[in-house]
Structure 1
Amino acid sequence: MNIRSIFITGCNQGLGLGLVKYLALLKTPTEKIFATCRNIQKATELLNLAKHVENIHIFEIDLKNVNEYPTIVNKVKSIVGDDGLTVLFNNAGMSTKFTRLPFVKEEQLFESYKINTVAPILLAKEFLPLLRQASINHSTKKGMSLTKAAIINMSSILGSLKNNDIGGFYPYRCSKAALNAATISMSIDLKKYNILVVSLHPGWVKTSLGGPNAPIDIKTSVDSIFNTLKSISEKDTGSFFQYDGKILPW
């Protein structure tokens, strides 16, 4: 899987760190891995990995600070040059506890939307020129693929309207449903540039967000995610995938 460059948000732990590990430890590692974390001092494992893998570039950013996005994009541009950026992986997310309507707080809603919906949309906007450049550079490849140019939005099955049969989770559920809506719009808007866009449910994973009772470990989820992503093409753009390749209903 020859991904020349990838920008992944939320890599200090959990799935984000797992994604970086997977790409860095391939027999043919991804050439340029850009990993963000909110607090670099707490990203001990990521920092240790970067000491041994020179193609990992770590950026410290609080994704709520949208004014910093152009600076980050310019830093990436200075490294990738005319190659552009192959993949934007909007992995970072936040959740609140299971929340029934009487207990929902305004700040929970706004903060969840800022991280889970607003950040992925604005990052896609800022990185679009670099994604387009990557797609142009691979114009001899027909259609769309992860190795040409792609935006992957880490969503959740809790963002599925059809699969909502228990209620609650207002901040997380609504922000992920909005991200799914953004994924469809991006896939339509970026089709003319041959940029693949999908939403992805990683499964219920043993992370700080998923909790210790989750049935899937990080490695299983990440391995399955990349097995799914490397097989999708233009026919799949605008789709909502589960980690194992199953198509989920919106």
Structure 2
Amino acid sequence: MAGRGYFLAFAVLYRHFGDVDLLISWTKPSRRHFPEIPKMSSTAQVSLQVQHVPNSPESSYRSDVPRTPPQKLKELAEKHSNIYIVVLDVVNQESIQKCVEEVHELVQEEGLNCLINNAAINLVADFHTVTAEKMIENFRTNAVAPLMITKAFLPLLKQAASRGACGAESMGIQRAAVINMSSLVGSVQLTWGERAHYFKWYPHRASKSALNMVSRCMAVDLESDGILCMAIHPGWVRTDMGGPQAPLSPEESISSLLSVIGGLSEKDHGSFQNYKGETLPW
């Protein structure tokens, strides 16, 4: 099926990137999950649409998350035949493996062209309130889970990379890519001076720094297979997590993010960028 590719996004709702089928993995959070990518309002850019599913479990503060996909998400999948919903608990290895099997049934020999690791949590704690348990839980979801998920999906990513979707030979989502949704607060260099006094979230900051290192290490190991890997910061966005004072609207962040992801090449392999495509300090 020439010119076709598959994108898998965790807790992210994308639809139709050129001639692309989207596989939505709806994450079952074990506790309070906050997506790093902003909540999505309806917007369109060229042949790409991003759809907002309001009041989804990933954007709420509830811990009693239902075990089935929200109604709005199911309605979206019913409306668009190239959207598939796959349930995943990112911190459960058995669930990850089951997800891989389901995705394999869908993509078959085409493989997986783009894996976006986006599900994350933020257990807010400063120096006085942080505990070992909060640190470990944040690390498990934000840094360990993306690594384990990428490892599990590697055969499908390699399959797509070897085929060179759309005849692509260089690195990029046209072949295979792993995009880890990171955060500016994970920058060690920027956590100093005046900036250091904002967002004193020990678990979240440390876990995002760890994710950056995981992304860099994976980039080294995936390069020989032609699989691009990088980390990206979506910006400070007006969402439940970002708050009303954030400078970016969801539409602005999303359109910029997808533009950057769509233009990635080997020069961006192993990088840490923001939603504008600007390089960020580690």
Q: d(CA) in 2 for partners of 1:62 and 1:96?
A: 18
Give 1:41 shift. 4.4
Deviations 1:135-176 (A, max 9, x none): 000185222011210000000000100111315211000000
Structure 2 spans left out of the alignment, 5+ residues: 29-65
Q: Which residue of 2 aligns with 1:13?
A: none
Q: d(CA) in 2 for partners of 1:195 and 1:243?
A: 21
Within the candidate set 67, 83, 86, 2:110 is matched to: 83
Q: Which residue of 1 aligns with 2:97?
A: 70
Q: Which has the higher helix share?
A: 1
Q: Which residue of 1 aligns with 2:230?
A: 198
Q: Which residue of 1 aligns with 2:32?
A: none
Structure 1 spans left out of the alignment, 5+ residues: 11-15
Equivalent AA in structure 1 for residue 75 of structure 2? N
Q: d(CA) in 2 for partners of 1:128 and 1:42?
A: 25
Does the CA-based 8 Å contact 2:26-2:69 persist in structure 1?
no
Q: Does 1:34 align with 2:24?
A: yes
Equivalent AA in structure 2 for residue 103 of structure 1? T
Give 1:60 shift. 2.1
Q: d(CA) in 1 for partners of 2:131 and 2:4?
A: 41
Give 1:220 shift. 1.3
Q: d(CA) in 2 for partners of 1:192 and 1:174?
A: 29
Does the CA-based 8 Å contact 1:82-1:133 persist in structure 2?
yes
Look up the SS of the partner of 1:102 in the other structure: coil
Pairs aligned (count): 237
Equivalent AA in structure 2 for residue 58 of structure 1? I
**Quick one: structure 1 residues 243 and 116, their matched pair in 2 at CA, closer, same or farther if it must change by over 3 Å?**
same
Q: Which residue of 2 aligns with 1:116?
A: 142
Does the CA-based 8 Å contact 1:3-1:147 persist in structure 2?
no
Give 1:3 shift. 6.6
Look up the SS of the partner of 1:101 in the other structure: coil
Give 1:88 shift. 0.6
Within the candidate set 128, 135, 153, 1:127 is matched to: 153
Deviations 1:7-39 (A, max 9, x none): 1112xxxxx23xx2xx34x6x452242332324
Q: Which residue of 1 aligns with 2:173?
A: 146
| TM score, norm. by length of structure 2 | 0.79
Look up the SS of the partner of 1:103 in the other structure: coil
Q: Which residue of 1 aligns with 2:256?
A: 224
Deviations 1:35-67 (A, max 9, x none): 323245462332221110111111222222122
Give 1:134 shift. 0.1
Q: d(CA) in 2 for partners of 1:130 and 1:42?
A: 24
Within the candidate set 177, 180, 183, 2:215 is matched to: 183
Look up the SS of the partner of 1:89 in the other structure: strand
Does the CA-based 8 Å contact 1:31-1:55 persist in structure 2?
yes
| TM score, norm. by length of structure 1 | 0.89
Q: Does 1:245 align with 2:277?
A: yes
Look up the SS of the partner of 1:8 in the other structure: strand
Counting aligned pairs with the same residue, the percent is 34
Superposed, 1:6-25 pairs within 5 Å as 6-10=7-11, 16-17=12-13, 20=14, 23-24=15-16
Q: d(CA) in 2 for partners of 1:41 and 1:212?
A: 30
Does the CA-based 8 Å contact 2:111-2:157 persist in structure 1?
yes
Does the CA-based 8 Å contact 2:168-2:174 persist in structure 1?
no
Q: d(CA) in 2 for partners of 1:207 and 1:62?
A: 23
Structure 1's consecutive aligned runs of 4 or more residues displaced over 3 angstroms after TM superposition are 39-42
Q: Does 1:174 align with 2:203?
A: no
Look up the SS of the partner of 1:190 in the other structure: helix
